[in-house]
A and B are shown apart, each in its own frame.
Chain A
Amino acid sequence: MRLPLRVLQQDCVFYVRRKFNVTSSLTATSRSAEARRAAILNVWSVPPSDAYRKDSSHYLVSLRLRMPAPIRLRELIRTIRTARTQAEEREMIQKECAAIRSSFREEDNTYRCRNVAKLLYMHMLGYPAHFGQLECLKLIASQKFTDKRIGYLGAMLLLDERQDVHLLMTNCIKNDLNHSTQYVQGLALCTLGCMGSSEMCRDLAGEVEKLLKTSNSYLRKKAALCAVHVIRKVPELMEMFLPATKNLLSEKNHGVLHTSVVLLTEMCERSPDMLSHFRKLVPQLVRILKNLIMSGYSPEHDVSGISDPFLQVRILRLLRILGKGDDDSSEAMNDILAQVATNTETSKNVGNAILYETVLTIMDIKSESGLRVLAINILGRFLLNNDKNIRYVALTSLLKTVQTDHNAVQRHRSTIVDCLKDLDVSIKRRAMELSFALVNGNNIRGMMKELLYFLDSCDPEFKADCASGVFLAAEKYAPSKRWHIDTIMRVLTTAGSYVRDDSVPNLIQLITNSVEMHAYTVQRLYKALLDDISQQPLVQVASWCIGEYGDLLVSGQCEEEEPIQVTEDEVLDVLEGLLVSNLSTPVTRGYSLTAIMKLSTRFSSVNRIKKVVSIYGSSIDVELQQRAVEYNALFKKYDHMRPALLERMPIMEKTSTNGPTEIVQTNGETESAVLDTKLTPAVPQPASQANDLLDLLGGNDVVPVIQTSVPTKPASAGGELLDLLGDLSLTGGPTPAPAPSAPISQPPFLLDGLSSQPLFNDTAAGIPPMTAYNKNGLKIDFTFERSNQNPNISVITIHATNSTEAEMTEFVFQAAVPKTFQLQLLSPSSNIVPALNQGNVTQVIRVLNPQKQQLRMRVKLTYTHKGTPVQDLAEVNNFPPQSWQ
């Protein structure tokens, strides 16, 4: 038992080591004390940690002796500190935890507080200590202050309101709130104010309110904060504290004043009624503030020469809330704000803290214009301050005021831009945000230059934010299309890998829509591609553009810039290079393969393209393989459709309400998404065709028609496709198409048709056939069937015959119905209508007509007859009533 004593003596000596750099003025005596300690330190050349380790060996011996008394907290800590590895530490802790548990089991009252203290230490290190929760409650219930103190601390650290255990405390806290010792009451208030749940707050609010009215300032300040907590938990209890607030501000004690202001602030923020009620306190607050500024030196509250800056800051905050949007209150505080702003000494951080708060208050309330100028100028001065913290808050508050006082902030633009070059990341980030906020139509070129420099040199963590900031600003204020494209390309070349995913489709959309810039853009991108293929977004955009506008690139007609001479093979070399490059991501490869495919209609070297595409038909990348296989099919089976399919993308409309995710769908992803859904022929086109249809149907009440050619299409594909089409502005409006979403909600409908072709055997006999179209030798008859299982579905089979002497090739039948219907077109039996009625093309249309309305349909026919393409539209209204009733 002597060992611990010895250890203690050693401890005393070892407590003398490196000191904190507490920058407060060290008194002369403390300095000499320091010197004395330094001398002691020199005598003890053994590093403290070793000495502690030595001691711990004794501890281990004592453990082996199975002493019943649990080791002290200090010894435990010392032992833990000797652990050289994490595993060792864990082992020690586990051993100790086992001892503590058994001690808890034995209901040992003597050492409970010590054990809980040890548990709290382990908890800090991250070890589980929840088994001490109940012990904390037992300690709280103890009569001893020592026990209560550690018990309440344990409760605050280990318990939370998520566990019902905490409710067991309610009664103890209630008793302790009425205890005769103020410190016990203080502990109870503190615990309630930290972790009281709403039930607990309801139960104990009365006690808190009573304590809020005591004359004991130690309890009063704690009660005030406790009341804040109660109000946060149960806002409706706010009324209860209202009478007690009356005298709070006449208190002399600064602690109470401070917490009272916090309480008033909380109440004002929570309820507009309270806010207007407390407006009458403004003169009183102003008086307190005035006293603080004017009063001479008071040692009690002095912090670096300023009287209670914390209280001043709090009062300024409350004034800000009270003065916001209220002329009278604002008027009442104008003078004092001006006084604070001019009288506060700013050589120390505390002074600046007050000044900063004053500025924020001036900006928030309805202050005089002169005062606002003063405030902005203070911030401007802050920007030039050597202290980085001050610079930081200046930028923060300028950011807050930039919306209201844009021009005033503009004056500090050059200083702000200089802050971009600061070494401190926090300041840099603020400066960047502020710079973006300052960009407008007049200064965009200059600002963007600075920001692009910044983008070049900044840390990787900034690049993403900076890049999207540049994109946004460029989109908003671009002086010309060319400048816009140049800027974005500059971002892509310098920070390409950091830009967000949605920037690729955004840029593609931008490029598509600036028709006159196509040649210039594709040429610039091609050059950029030759320089560097590591920046994936750039490569993707470039691939896309080369695919779309490859012909412009090769023809070398660029008005904006010296045209470059490239051959088709060179372009294909570059794209093929992307396919094999290690730097390319799978997505990039997809872009590049699609680009190559697109070039098959723009370039003459089709055979080379065919070869490339077929090679990737066996790629190990599933995505790429699928694309290649589909493209191959396009070359073989559907070659006649290829030129139409690979047409240039139409100009994309960006609906204003679309978020970035939808933008992704509307452009960049269009192709890949379509291909994802395993749909061949007619599908990539519907964008344009459906638009045509839409035009001809003249309104939003049209459901798009989808031609599905592959019966094995997965069920989900339809949904995705519809989604896609929906976003492709079929309905044009800001609400993207309720219609396309409807089929998704009817999955059985889609599935039925896909899984079982001969589903419609149960013909409801007696529906007469009709002729829907008969023109130029092309006759289209409809025959009807109704499904018995679902009478809402009409199955229409079209029979197209050709009475002319030449066959009709590339025959495509499309149909559209009003919105109340849903329509599904299955694949046609052929796309050639043989001449002289020697055969027909059949195609099945399924119409879902839940409201049993009269069927109406518009059809669009395209085919090639004798080498000339023919297109025709027709409306079909004369459906037999049996087909829809």
Chain B
Amino acid sequence: MIKAILIFNNHGKPRLIRFYQYFAEDMQQQIIRETFHLVSKRDDNVCNFLEGGSLIGGSDYKLIYRHYATLYFVFCVDSSESELGILDLIQVFVETLDKCFENVCELDLIFHMDKVHYILQEVVMGGMVLETNMNEIVAQVEMQNRMEKSEGGLSAAPARAVSAVKNMNLPEIPRNINIGDINIKVPSLSPF
């Protein structure tokens, strides 16, 4: 079983954390810090397995990671997972991200944390591998994104907000701006 999936950058800033086993919040942060510490001091030409992250539970657990440019993808797994298989899974996950974001980079992950979670949800579920076929994953994620968009997504909110702004009692600075005249077009860009 996969116990946790962590993505952080070369400076240890978390970009995605997903635990499939309960840990208190401060513990989670501690695990990230420790994992970063362990992983970051390793050369790129050594193997991708690490044992003995003390926090995440004993010798049965392994850290399996891959390092891509500025990001570390770390999977913490127990002995029921194949080490080499998980390495391939990380590759699949990253390639899927690459397809979904079209040349993914760290900033995509930062600004679309929710989307990364949604993609991951289609790959791993409850600590178990759900799907490894990239096309399938991308198709399902996109279908769901389309559903969201059809509802107006999160970006529909500003449209409703406009009316709120109009009726607002503004403080002094923009007093002489006639808000009513502004014709705001709600961009139909991606949500958030």
Contact = CB atoms under 8 A, between A and B. Distances in A.
Interface of A: 1-2, 4-5, 8, 11, 14-24, 30, 33-34, 37, 48, 65-69, 72-74, 77, 81, 110-111, 113-114, 117, 120-121, 123-126, 128-129, 144-146, 149-150, 153, 157, 160-162, 181, 183, 186, 189-190, 193-194, 218, 221-222, 225-226, 228-229, 254-255, 258-259, 262, 300-301, 303, 308-311, 313, 317, 349-350, 352-353, 356-357, 388-393, 396, 423-427, 429
B55 interface: no
Contact of B161 (A16, A69, A145): A69
Contact of A313 (B85, B117, B125, B128): B85
B103 A317 contact: no
B57 interface: no
Contacts of A121: 113
A616 to B, nearest CB: 40
Nearest to B171: A65
Given A150-B114, A424-B46, A356 B84 contact: yes
Contacts of A67: 165, 168
B50 A225 contact: no
B28 A225 contact: no
Interface of B: 14-18, 20, 22, 25-26, 28-29, 32, 42-43, 45-51, 68-71, 80, 82-85, 87-89, 91-92, 94-95, 98, 103-108, 110-111, 113-114, 117-118, 121, 125-133, 135-136, 140, 143-144, 147-148, 151-154, 157-158, 160-162, 164-165, 168, 170-171, 173-174, 182, 184, 187, 189, 191-192
Given A8-B187, A393-B83, A426-B47, A310 B113 contact: no
Contacts of A350: 84, 88
Q: Is the interface of A mostly helix, strand, loop or mixed?
A: helix
A528 B12 CA distance: 46
B184 to A, nearest CB: 6
Contact of A117 (B46, B82, B114): B114
22 contacts: A17-B107, A19-B104, A20-B104, A23-B91, A30-B103, A33-B103, A65-B173, A68-B164, A68-B168, A69-B157, A110-B160, A114-B154, A114-B192, A124-B17, A125-B14, A126-B26, A160-B22, A193-B125, A310-B88, A388-B46, A390-B84, A423-B43
Given A300-B133, A313-B85, 5 more contacts: A77-B110, A146-B152, A153-B114, A393-B83, A426-B50
Contact of B88 (A74, A129, A226, A349): A349
A359 B69 CA distance: 34
A48 B106 CA distance: 12
A225 B104 contact: no
A427 B87 contact: no
A70 B97 CA distance: 29
A426 B49 contact: yes
Contact of B126 (A8, A14, A194, A311): A194
B61 to A, nearest CB: 14
Contacts of B129: 258, 262, 310
A218 B137 CA distance: 10
B84 A1 contact: no
A438 to B, nearest CB: 20
Contacts of B173: 65
Contacts of A150: 114, 154
A69 B165 CA distance: 8
A424 B128 CA distance: 29
Contacts of B157: 69, 110-111, 113-114
B171 A66 contact: yes
Contact of B69 (A20, A129, A349, A353): A20
A190 B82 contact: no
B114 to A, nearest CB: 6
Contact of B47 (A5, A74, A183, A391): A391
Given A313-B85, A352-B84, A8 B130 contact: no
B147 A183 contact: yes
A189 B165 CA distance: 40
Q: Which 4 A-B pairs have the closest CB atoms?
A: A353-B84, A388-B47, A193-B126, A424-B46
A162 B24 CA distance: 11
* Residue in B82, B117, B144, B161 whose Cβ sees the most chain A Cβ within 10 Å: B82
Contacts of A110: 157, 160-161
A255 B126 contact: no
Contacts of A310: 85, 88-89, 129, 132
A297 B129 CA distance: 23
Contacts of A189: 125
A20 B125 contact: no
Contacts of B43: 423
Contacts of A146: 148, 151-154, 191
A157 B16 CA distance: 11
A615 B79 CA distance: 59
Contacts of A114: 154, 157, 192
B170 A1 contact: no
A258 B144 CA distance: 23
B107 A48 contact: yes
A123 B25 contact: yes
Contacts of A30: 103
Contacts of A390: 84
A174 B4 CA distance: 27
* Residue in B133, B143, B152, B165 whose Cβ sees the most chain A Cβ within 10 Å: B133
Contacts of A222: 125, 130
